[in-house]
A and B are shown apart, each in its own frame.
Chain A
Amino acid sequence: VSVLAIAKVAAEIDTGDTAWMLAATALVLMMTPALGLFYAGLVRSKNTLNTFMMCVGAIAVAGVVWALVGYSLAFDGDGSLIGGLGYVGLHDVTFVPRDGTTIPHLLFMAFQATFCIITAALVSGAVVERMRFGPFLIFVALWSILVYSVLAHWSFGGGWLAAGGTLDFAGGIPVEMGSGFSALAAALVVGARKDYGRQALLPHNAVYVLLGAGLLWFGWFGFNGGSGFSTGNPSVLAFTNTLLTPACSLVVWFLLDLIRGRKVTAIGAATAIIVGCVLITPAGGFISPGWAMVLGAVGALPCYAVIVWRPRTRIDETLDVLAAHGIAGFTGILFIGLFASLAWNGLSDGLFFGNAAQLGDQALAALVTPLYAFGMTYLLLRAMGLFTSLRASEQEEAVGMDVVQHGEDAYPSGEGAILVLPDADGEVLVADPS
């Protein structure tokens, strides 16, 4: 019997699907260093490394926490609010395919891990240039359990939203709205940079920003294209829409830039790429290519409006995670309710095709997710603030987080540094230049 069982299991693995998911997992992991580059270009030069390291730190901490408990809480069983503890420490996560997929369970876990990692890294955009590195790592560990795993269970793991009929192809709920509205809470609790609203705080390297956005877009083909867990039609549809939607967002962003400032900006273009990728993330496998293009064009409008509005407020949500991810994710989730097409997705129609109930399911997620992400993140950081100082001192902030937090300089001049060598007693000798 056991031999038969193994044979049956082996037959369920599809090599093509597995091959694609191996590649897709690597593509999504690459998005986090790409995000580090994107964010590093948007900050001042003295905070380059710290900003990048927040993304690297998310790979470290969220990756470990995911394997230990996060995956289990998100994907063990179909409890309404939270998963079980059956997969803690990757117990029982093996080569046997996960139910409903044709790929090894272990690979499914790894693919989902990369989502948790980049979502935690996204939130750092709200607190760069002033949050201390140590508390940020602790925040990532706790946030990936309290916020990401919970939202992932609701939308992907068989929780109440998925069970109720809400559609989310690649993470509009846990990744995009989860990070965007958490970022707003984090910005409010950590507080504005000391110079915010007093000095012009400008991006220090627009080429990093463009290159980071390009690499993110490249990785997003794995993110959306892999979220069908196969090489089947939903994956092909999501993959292609990941090309079309951001292209439309770019065109509209160009026009909005022209109207507002008479020039098409490079950092605006990089932002538009992100916005377009986020817009299609929830809807990728559910709407036709034509409607995906409409989504890219129309969905750019609210995001652009929030990006213009936010810097006029006292809210130093520094890298506009709310606009680019929260608002775009919100828009994409609702768009499914309007224009999902049974002919294209084989699951459900939206309001436009005669199924008003789908819009209700989507609206419920668009209402509850921001409230949960914002509320839980706010409470978590407030609680952490009782035990430790979340941000660096004004003096440290002025000097820059690279030197203060990491003892390194992103752009050392190479001049004026004196070599220090350990001697036999473990003490240091300063090499004397004379």
Chain B
Amino acid sequence: MFRWLPIVWANLRRRKLRLVFTFISILLAFLMFGMLDALRTIYSRAINMAGFPIAC
């Protein structure tokens, strides 16, 4: 697989600006995903720790 990498990289570099924008959009998406998932985790843990008597 790795011997293909130079040709893949050459293909990607054809349009540098497009590469940069695509890269940033993917990067931001996963950055958001990571941060939001961390937030979701603390919320669910906070609730488990709180333990308020909810009658339901």
Do A and B actually bind? Answer: no
Residues of B within 8 A of A (CB): none
Residues of A within 8 A of B (CB): none
